[in-house]
Amino acid sequence: MNYRHSFHAGNAVDCAKHALLVALLLALERKPAPYFYMETHAGRGRYRLDSAPARVTDEAADGIQRLRAHRHGAPAALAAYLAAVDALNPGLAPQARAAVYPGSPALALARARPGDRALLCESQPDEARALAELAGDAAQAGDGWAALRAALPPRERRGLVLIDPPYEHAEEFRDAGRALVEALGRWPSGTLALWYPLKAGGEAAGLERRIGAASVPKTLRARFELKPDGPGLNGCGLLVANPPFRFDAEAREVLGFLVGALAPGTGRARVDWLVPERASD
């Protein structure tokens, strides 16, 4: 794999993915029992927005940097996400540029309570070393797909798995969908979140069709669209099987705010049930 998230950290779709992740973590915290958290493709976990790769693209300028300056009235989950960014940039004014950005591992570890357990997988050696420096024993170098099969079901009765491959080739959409279905077969009561990019080519639509046709529990679809279909990255989606109570409403609040802050006039938020709840559930 050649993908390096350092070039894209803190962009607009990162804001959507990570704000929704924080909403899911906040939902887990509503109950005192410990939970299990896992990522299949964790990356290095924390990123320098003033690094050479980040400066090449400066995608964070239209993402987290802009959002920090337009946070007034943000819903609770989005405010908690921004607070996590602020914690890595202490004393920084809202209009100033953040230098450090938390990836999903840093966000999850910062919210973990005593007794909660994390498993963060990364296959790229340099990224895995950086992740181990951040996460210690929670980091695991190697194939995230294999780790997912081995880890489920966890000893904890509840938890969250984030499936977030780099999508360097079209086959990864199929791999991710298959992993979600197989993981739910091993852990039918777990909450599983599958993130995917929206690009020209139809891969995202194909993924949604396959999950919609599979025998899976109720699954929410949350899409953050930056612009109409066209070349490049048009937005992102998150499929959440067994979502927490009220997560659909929270996702609408978060993505609606992000559209107004990051994609006014062109963006759109869409939250609906890809697989509705069955009457027998």
Q: What is the pLDDT of residues 133-184, one digit of tens each?
A: 999 999 999 999 999 999 999 999 999 999 999 998 889 999 999 999 999 9
Q: Burial letters for 138-147: b for 16+ Cβ neighbours within 10 Å, e otherwise?
A: bbbeeebbeb
Q: Alpha-carbon dihedral of residues 39, 254, 25, 208, nearest 10 degrees? A: -40
Single out the catalytic residue among 164, 175, 248, 281.
Answer: 164
Map out the domains of the chain with their CATH numbers: 5-275 (3.40.50.150)
The single-letter code of the amino acid at 123 is: S
Per residue in 34-89, pLDDT tens?
999 999 999 999 999 999 988 888 999 999 999 999 999 999 999 999 999 999 99
- pLDDT at position 280 over 50: no
The angle, 0 to 180 degrees and rounded to 10, between the axes of the packed helices 104-111 and 76-87 is 100
Pairing of strands 100-102, 139-141: unpaired
The verdict on whether 164 is a catalytic residue reads: yes
pLDDT, one tens digit per residue, over 239-258 is 999 999 999 999 999 999 99
Query: Tell me, what amino acid is at 152?
Result: L
Residue 231 predicted with pLDDT over 90: no
Backbone angles phi, psi at 77, to 5 degrees: -65, -40
Question: What span, in angstroms and rounded, lies between the C-alpha atoms of 211 and 207?
Answer: 6
pLDDT confidence bin for 7, thresholds 50/70/90: confident
